[in-house]
Amino acid sequence: MGAQALLMARRFANRLVLAQVALAVIFSAGFWVSLDAPSGYAALSGGIIGAVANALYARLSFANGSRVPVDVIRRTVFGEAIKIAVTVTLFLVFVVWVRGPFLPMLVTYVATQAVYWVAWLKSPVSVDKRKTSTKKI
């Protein structure tokens, strides 16, 4: 990955997390207005769980900037493992200490993850599409 592509990927990851936070605020306001304040707080919690985990994953993925394939894979796997651990931990914190309505939290969490996957499908960062030779040796 070239320096320009790396910069584009970092910017894309940052915009993705901001989009997740914005969606969490919108869902939180919607639940607050349509149901009640605890549902709004729960929805915001679900969005924060998704956004924090993805922000941490992005931060770890771009940590040292090495472009060696083994390092990239190692950082990606490590980042994904940390993301899962943080997500599970934050869900447990919500269930044990916050004890708010579970459905608004879960719906907003799923919505932030949907933003994550839809955004990656429409990503400007793509695989190098150079043509490869098909000549037989």
- 30: buried, middle or exposed (CB in 10 Å: 19+, 13-18, 0-12)? middle
Question: Which alpha helices (H) appear in 1-137, and where do they start and end?
Answer: 3-34, 37-61, 69-93, 102-121
Give residue 71's domain range: 3-119
Looking at residue 133, its pLDDT comes to 47
Residue 43 lies in a domain: yes
Q: What is the C-alpha separation between 118 and 101, in angstroms, rounded?
A: 27
Residue 69 lies in a domain: yes
Q: What is the pTM of this model?
A: 0.80
pLDDT in tens, 35-82: 999 999 999 999 999 999 999 998 888 777 666 778 888 888 999 999
Record the tokens describing residue 81, joined without a space. Answer: 């493992």
Residue 131 lies in a domain: no
The CA-atom distances, in angstroms, between 137 and each of 130, 133, 134 are 20, 11, 9
Residue 125 lies in a domain: no
Which residue's structure tokens are 């970092």? 10
Looking at residue 54, its pLDDT comes to 92
Point out the least confidently predicted range of 9-13, 68-72, 126-130. Answer: 126-130
Residue 135 lies in a domain: no
Residue 63 lies in a domain: yes
Contact 51, 13 (CB under 8 A): no
Residue 39 lies in a domain: yes
Looking at residue 91, its pLDDT comes to 95
Contact 109, 50 (CB under 8 A): yes
Point out the least confidently predicted range of 55-59, 87-91, 106-110. Answer: 55-59
Residue 75 lies in a domain: yes
Looking at residue 46, its pLDDT comes to 96
Q: How many domains does the chain have?
A: 1
